[in-house]
Structure 1
Amino acid sequence: VDEEFLQTLIGSYVGILKKGVEAIALQMKLCMAGMQAVKVAEMGGSLVLFSREGSVDVGPPFNNLLWWDGLLDEIKPWS
């Protein structure tokens, strides 16, 4: 396994999209909140990966399902 890729996963989160929600809606919400350094990647099915560039902390909004305003069914740290 590529060590650089593993470092990307540390501090990342996995979310489950609500039915009918597209990943682009999540990316737009992040951008509007000033978190352009956080990237959303579709993983298949309804799973999405939230990763960060550099040492940006992605924790606070990610730990609050209400912040996602009905876009996600669940979100949790990558493990």
Structure 2
Amino acid sequence: MRAENAESARRAAQRAEAQRINPPSPPRPATRAGPLCPVCGSPMAARLAKKGRRKGQHFWGCTRYPRCRGTKPMGGR
């Protein structure tokens, strides 16, 4: 039992030392490259239609898909 506790303490000390030497980087701020979704207000991402009558055409799609299905044509039309 003592050996297990000593091993746990040693590993915890190693993790703490690693955090001190290499602290985690701060989260990057979100960048907004496209418009906002007209349905939910989230950022939109450039997408490519893979099937259907608009196959091969680019459009803006909500980044919350499939929870939100908001889309916009490219060019802001």
RCO higher in structure (CA 8 A, sep ≥6): 1
What TM-score do the two structures reach when normalised by structure 2?
A: 0.25
Asked which structure has the greater CA Rg, the reply is 2
More strand by proportion, 1 or 2?
Answer: 1
More helix by proportion, 1 or 2?
Answer: 1
